[in-house]
Chain A
Amino acid sequence: MNDMKTPTRVDKSVLSVTTTLRAHQREWWSDLQQRVENGEQFVLAGASVPHEIFEAMDIPYVTDVWYSGIVAAKRQSGYYSELLERKGYHAGLDRYSSLAYAVALDESDTPKPWGGLPRPALVVTMGAVGGSEAIARHYGVPHINLERPIAAHPSVAWWEQAHYAWEDLEESHRIDVLASQYEALIETCERVFDRKLDRDRLRGILDVVNEQESCFEDVRRVLQTAPKLPVRLAEVMSQVMGIQWHRGTQWALEQARTFRDEVRQRAEDELWICPNEKLRLMYVGRGLWQQLEFLSEFEESHGVVFARSNYLSIACDAYPHYGMRRPVRTLAARYATFNDYLHYPPWGGAWAAWEARTHRLDGAVQLDSGDHGVKFILRALESEGIPVLNLPTDPVDSRAWDGEKMRALMVQFIETRLAKEK
């Protein structure tokens, strides 16, 4: 329990939208808890699930990894990881999406992050990751696990086709089988929540999502082209994901517009987060949600900034899908490969290398979390002349964090490999 002490943190936020995001999240969460207390039901959903269907049906939903991120940010992940082990779930199991389950299992008086997770009415996941099925069993509620068909004929530069030519990219039979699973999900939602899906509304929500993602594309363009970095990556990651979990709402669209405008303005005003910027790094793989501030620790000492993460870039490249004749199919096309683009070959490496070029990067850091495909990504980056550092830690489990060791590894990487390349 020693990791549950309130940590001392230096707030390096430069955007006003960071404050409005935090306020909105607290307000939304408190509202959700109140609604659930009043008898309303909600869905606990995985990250790669079509949240837009819930939005179109006015069904509240919470994303499991968002809640895991909250647990990690509160530095309670170590406590909850140990609790899972005490309950019989061995230490090698993934914690990224499972901390919500751990919180549900905790019968002690320990204060739960943000007051704890209320009982959902339905659990929906893609690929049965982590404790998703276990949490449904724990609460005795239905669980739907969507199965993603595998792409047998991968197209390397997927990001060039994803927005418009998705029928060719994802193949019709794969889109069809996922769409038929979504139809089954819709039927379940209609039964459990006693309401009907309005497909015109769903179409409208997808249009809003496309517009929101285009704001993110504008932000990415600024980060790629501005002479120096106008905003810290930790702030970008928090902002992007905070908005993504509410995508399709008017709030999310307005927040994304304001975010874009603020970043643009800072670049126009030449307000750089590290005026002494010398080296630009990218961040590959899952976020270091338990230690986001770590990314900015090398600005003053070494002029190092982090300019790119998966989170903004996947929002720009994988989310927007145009062509809404059959909106459920359009959504299915988005998720037919999705996560696999992030790390599996050939996609993960080709995408990372392209991103490194367009962001003018000098190096990369990735969490050595054993993600599939990592070695091919490293190979692709290094063949582009981008050195990569593996940080041996976990995205959310604070027990795996050794700050001194990580700092030493970073300094050695910067002073030896990056300086040499430069």
Chain B
Amino acid sequence: MASASYRPSRAPLVVNAGPTIPLEPFWAAGCRVEVVEGIPGGSTEAGDRYMEDGLEVTVRSVFDQFVRGTWDEADLIVLDRSYRDVYYYLKELVRLGLAPGLPKLHLFDLLLTRDLPVQRYNAGQVEMLVEAVEYASDRRLERAELQNALVRSDEVRAQYRQLNEQRRRGVILGSEALRHIAVIRAADPSYQVLELQALNASLEERVPVDRPRLLLVTGDTSDVLALHHAAEKAGANIVAEDYRWGSRTAVAAHIEDADPVAAIAATAHRDGNGPELTPFSARIRWALEAGAEQIDGAVLHVSPNDRVLGWYLPELCAALKELGVPVLNLVEDAQSSESGIALHDAIRTWLGPAMMPGTRLKEVS
């Protein structure tokens, strides 16, 4: 899902993949920014020559796009540690002379552990990211420019928090909200604020949709939209999902620090999510908070290629049930058309014919 460009084409293009990469340095440098994600149901044939089939679909799809040359026009590719496979594999292709058109690669290695001392290392990672952006944009970034980007970014965050509230009210379908976010998410903050203000204002006028409100946790972000569609087809609406470019856009303002680099590092660490986040309690805190209010049920999904989330699901499932949130566990390939039918059937069966909107679901199984 590529977002709209808003800068003149001569502005440097930075392409990034990974849920922990802060976009503020790119905005401060006036770069065009593209977020690369897995293409649901897309072919991974080019990448599969080098990458193992057992890896997550998202990882394979992102790798495939780089191998195909989809992003060769970029000035800089930034990957975070959740895409370490893609980083190592691309570096190797470059070394072997098999990817001559690939732009400069940069690894942003933010450590997310909540229990161990990693602040200094993370600040160093942000410094190196700023240097990479300076190289790509051929200019020095002043601290004041970074500070300004943080202020503008906080305005965007406030708008996303409002959008989340509207989603909780049930005035917009989850898939529609995700489409809006996908279009503007990497654009300049000023542009995003204008777009989100207009969207939020229009949502104020809408009447809430009379559907059960669901929380979604899935192991592979490529599956998010397919699961939204399945839930909507079954008569429900996913109003929150554990996904950076969904509900996770609605994060708090930046942590204050006189040094913008330290502020970016601390905030990225606080907001970090995805498969690298440990320990378990930090991983599921968001889901438990999201599940505590205004939610009728939770869908917990893992694809057959999942290697991480499955270890947490039994515990998450038990914790949600303790909160009184009914849970549907799905282990399905959300990408195939057959699974699409199976998923919405499973959700519909779980919802049950006697389900009343606005009340907790009765658990079927």
- A-side residues, CB < 8 A to B, are 87-90, 92-94, 128, 130-131, 133-134, 137, 143-147, 149-150, 152, 154, 156, 173, 176-177, 180-181, 183-184, 340, 344-346, 349, 370-376
Q: Which residues of A contact B310 (CB under 8 A)?
A: 89-90, 92-93
Partner of A177, one of B54, B118, B305, B329: B118
Q: Check if B111 sits within 8 Å of A147, measured CB to CB.
A: yes
Would you mind naming 24 contact pairs between A and B with Cβ atoms under 8 Å apart? A90-B304, A90-B306, A93-B306, A93-B310, A131-B311, A133-B279, A134-B311, A144-B115, A147-B112, A150-B87, A152-B106, A176-B121, A180-B117, A180-B118, A181-B117, A181-B118, A183-B117, A370-B52, A371-B52, A373-B89, A375-B50, A375-B51, A376-B89, A376-B92
Is B302 an interface residue when CB atoms closer than 8 A count as contact? yes
Contact status of A146 and B116, CB under 8 A, knowing A133-B278, A152-B107, A346-B91:
yes
Is B341 an interface residue when CB atoms closer than 8 A count as contact? no
**A137 vs B317: C-alpha distance when bound (angstroms):** 15
Beyond A88-B314, A177-B120, 14 additional pairs, beta carbon < 8 A: A89-B313, A90-B302, A90-B304, A90-B313, A92-B306, A133-B279, A134-B280, A150-B81, A181-B117, A184-B115, A184-B117, A345-B92, A373-B88, A375-B51
Is B232 an interface residue when CB atoms closer than 8 A count as contact? no
- B-side residues, CB < 8 A to A, are 49-55, 81, 84-85, 87-89, 91-92, 95, 106-107, 109, 111-113, 115-118, 120-121, 124, 276, 278-280, 302, 304-307, 310-311, 313-315, 317, 329, 331
Q: Which residues of A contact B84 (CB under 8 A)?
A: 150, 344
Chain A residue at minimal CB-CB distance from B128: A152
Q: Check if B111 sits within 8 Å of A133, measured CB to CB.
A: no
Nearest Cβ on chain B to A366's Cβ, whole angstroms: 12
Nearest Cβ on chain A to B44's Cβ, whole angstroms: 13
**A131 vs B279: C-alpha distance when bound (angstroms):** 12
Partner of B279, one of A130, A143, A149, A349: A143
Nearest Cβ on chain B to A104's Cβ, whole angstroms: 14
**A134 vs B311: C-alpha distance when bound (angstroms):** 7
Q: Which residues of B contact A147 (CB under 8 A)?
A: 111-113, 116, 118, 276, 278
Chain A residue at minimal CB-CB distance from B54: A370
**A373 vs B87: C-alpha distance when bound (angstroms):** 12
Nearest Cβ on chain A to B279's Cβ, whole angstroms: 6
Q: Check if A137 sits within 8 Å of B280, measured CB to CB.
A: yes
Q: Check if B311 sits within 8 Å of A173, measured CB to CB.
A: no
Q: Which residues of B contact A373 (CB under 8 A)?
A: 52, 85, 88-89
Q: Which residues of A contact B51 (CB under 8 A)?
A: 375
**A145 vs B280: C-alpha distance when bound (angstroms):** 11
**A142 vs B9: C-alpha distance when bound (angstroms):** 52
Nearest Cβ on chain B to A338's Cβ, whole angstroms: 14
Q: Check if A344 sits within 8 Å of B88, measured CB to CB.
A: yes
**A175 vs B120: C-alpha distance when bound (angstroms):** 13
Q: Check if B124 sits within 8 Å of A374, measured CB to CB.
A: no
Q: Check if B307 sits within 8 Å of A94, measured CB to CB.
A: yes
Q: Check if A92 sits within 8 Å of B307, measured CB to CB.
A: yes
List of 7 A-B pairs having minimum Cβ-Cβ separation, nearest first: A370-B54, A345-B92, A88-B314, A177-B121, A152-B107, A181-B116, A150-B109
Q: Which residues of B contact A374 (CB under 8 A)?
A: 52
Q: Check if A346 sits within 8 Å of B92, measured CB to CB.
A: yes
Q: Which residues of B contact A184 (CB under 8 A)?
A: 115-117
Chain B residue at minimal CB-CB distance from A89: B310
Q: Which residues of B contact A144 (CB under 8 A)?
A: 115-116
Q: Check if B88 sits within 8 Å of A370, measured CB to CB.
A: no
Nearest Cβ on chain B to A28's Cβ, whole angstroms: 29
Q: Check if B52 sits within 8 Å of A375, measured CB to CB.
A: yes
Q: Which residues of B contact A133 (CB under 8 A)?
A: 278-280, 311
Q: Which residues of A contact B50 (CB under 8 A)?
A: 375-376
Nearest Cβ on chain B to A345's Cβ, whole angstroms: 4
Chain A residue at minimal CB-CB distance from B109: A150
Q: Check if A372 sits within 8 Å of B55, measured CB to CB.
A: yes
**A372 vs B54: C-alpha distance when bound (angstroms):** 9
Q: Which residues of B contact A152 (CB under 8 A)?
A: 87, 106-107, 109
Nearest Cβ on chain A to B128's Cβ, whole angstroms: 8
**A176 vs B116: C-alpha distance when bound (angstroms):** 13
Contact status of A89 and B311, CB under 8 A, knowing A177-B118, A345-B92:
yes
Nearest Cβ on chain A to B317's Cβ, whole angstroms: 7
Nearest Cβ on chain B to A349's Cβ, whole angstroms: 8
**A349 vs B307: C-alpha distance when bound (angstroms):** 24
Q: Check if A150 sits within 8 Å of B107, measured CB to CB.
A: yes
Q: Check if B314 sits within 8 Å of A87, measured CB to CB.
A: yes
Q: Which residues of A contact B106 (CB under 8 A)?
A: 152
